[in-house]
Amino acid sequence: MSSAAQAYARTAQRTASPREIEAQALLKAARQLQDVVTNWNERGPIGLNDALMFNRKLWSLFVSDALRDDSPQTLEIRQNIANIGVFVLSQSAALQMAPQLEPLSALIEINRNIAAGLSGRA
């Protein structure tokens, strides 16, 4: 990455809201998973573990944040995040043990839909 691009990325991170940063991270995870799906027939599950690990780390952070007692979110929202997170984490772990193409679409859609909601595009 060029120094100009790095400077832009740093500035964008400082000026973006936490919701927008979370949305961008979810979209990045969705793109990584979509790349695996797009190239599955040619390459098989190449890149799947990296994409799933990124997604798992991201959702682990969301779940951890939702479980914090001092979270600013309502209990209902925190429970919803935790429930979605448990599903995403369990699906991701299952896919790492037994790679399959079809279940990836659910993870991609969850990330895209949550990102759209965070960005106000839902």
User: Domains, the chain, ranges and CATH?
Assistant: 18-119 (1.20.120)
How far CA 76 is from CA of 20, 37, 46, 92, 113, in Å, comes to 21, 33, 38, 24, 18
| Selection from 78, 54, 84 nearest residue 65 by Cα | 78
- Model-level pTM? 0.82
Using 50, 70 and 90 to split pLDDT, how confident is the model at 3? Answer: low
Can you tell me the distance from the alpha carbon of 30 to that of 26, in angstroms, rounded to the nearest whole number?
6
**pLDDT tens digits, residue range 38-62?**
999 898 889 999 999 999 999 999 9
104-119 and 75-97 are packed helices; what angle lies between their axes, rounded to 10 degrees?
150
